[in-house]
Structure 1
Amino acid sequence: MRRVVCPGSYDPITNGHLDIIQRASKLYDVVHVSVMINKSKQGLFPVEQRIDLIRQTTASFGNVEVEAYHGLLVDFCKERDIPAIVKGLRAVSDFDYELQMAQMNNGLSGVETLFVPTNPTYSFLSSSLVKEVATWGGDVSHLVPPVVLSALRDRLQHP
């Protein structure tokens, strides 16, 4: 069985994230979406809600498993016998950072990292940008799935 992981904070999941997860789901038997927990960061959404939003938005893919993880991604992979990580790249600046991470992960455990270029429609998109725009009442309806838009409005108290 071919397995891969798509890691991230997903605070919140965006259409860009979904694009990468959906594309991975067409190539692999099982796509693990790992919501990585960083205790030093306070997220907009609690981890449990992020997991729920990801499950709702990926349910139609049929082969996505979602769970939280605190620790090294390579340990997540070892514990689940996952040989590869899929990461979306928006720009050259992403590549510089992600290449270092890929080389470290491979050196630590032999886990491979596969880079997928982001759909140009989402090349500027990040969860941070979505949160900033939504906080000020801007329209992010074209950047996130409807269930996420609703959760953002509830969290930020915008109609």
Structure 2
Amino acid sequence: MRIGLYPGTFDPVTLGHLDIIRRACRLVDRLVIGVAINRDKGPLFSLEERVAMVEAEFADLTDQTGCELIAHPFENLLIDCARDVGAGVIVRGLRAVADFEYEYQMVGMNRALDDSVETVFLMAEARHQAIASKLVKEIARLGGDTSKFVTDAVDTALHRKLKG
């Protein structure tokens, strides 16, 4: 069984994330969505809320793709998380050249820690390349329309969270 790990904070999960998840399912039999705790980023949504959102968003994808999808919270090193879930490949999404420099460094470090785990980069589809969770939250905070960047359920949760 080919197992992949797609890590991120998913705060909130966007249409760009879902695009990468859907496309990664073509490459692996099981895709673990690693929901990073990452306290340094100060997430808007709690870990439990982010895991629940991710699970709700990929619920139909297993039937559509035949790929088993699992949400897995983690706080350890990415390479250790990959080992924990038995992943032979880490899936990373790229939006722009700026992403590549950071990701390139991460691959180098992860390969130094464990060269048996490969990293695969998937380019987001053109219509999703500008989407970033950080920007979606900023638009929502300032009263803008985020419906072009997230699903209806996430849009509702985002606005509810900011009002509460």
**TM-score tier (shorter):** over 0.9
Between the aligned partners of 1:56 and 1:7, the Cα distance in structure 2 is: 17
| Secondary structure of the structure 1 residue equivalent to 2:155 | helix
| Secondary structure of the structure 2 residue equivalent to 1:40 | helix
- Kindly state the Cα deviation for residue 39 of structure 1 after the two structures are TM-superposed: 2.4
- Kindly state the Cα deviation for residue 65 of structure 1 after the two structures are TM-superposed: 0.2
Any stretches of 5+ residues in structure 1 without a counterpart? none
Question: RMSD of aligned C-alpha atoms?
Answer: 1.1
2:65 counterpart residue number? none
- Residue 150 (structure 2) pairs with residue 144 (structure 1): yes
| Contact kept? 2:5, 2:90, Cα under 8 Å | yes
- Kindly state the Cα deviation for residue 45 of structure 1 after the two structures are TM-superposed: 0.3
- Amino acid aligned to 1:29: D
Percent of residue pairs bearing the same amino acid type: 41
TM-score after normalising by structure 2: 0.93
Between the aligned partners of 1:80 and 1:68, the Cα distance in structure 2 is: 11
- Kindly state the Cα deviation for residue 156 of structure 1 after the two structures are TM-superposed: 1.3
Between the aligned partners of 2:37 and 2:30, the Cα distance in structure 1 is: 21
1:52 counterpart residue number? 52
- Amino acid aligned to 1:118: A
Runs of 4 or more, structure 1, over 3 Å off, are: none
Any stretches of 5+ residues in structure 2 without a counterpart? 63-67
- Residue 15 (structure 2) pairs with residue 15 (structure 1): yes
Between the aligned partners of 1:41 and 1:142, the Cα distance in structure 2 is: 24
Between the aligned partners of 2:159 and 2:97, the Cα distance in structure 1 is: 32
Between the aligned partners of 1:19 and 1:74, the Cα distance in structure 2 is: 23
- Residue 97 (structure 2) pairs with residue 107 (structure 1): no
2:73 counterpart residue number? 68
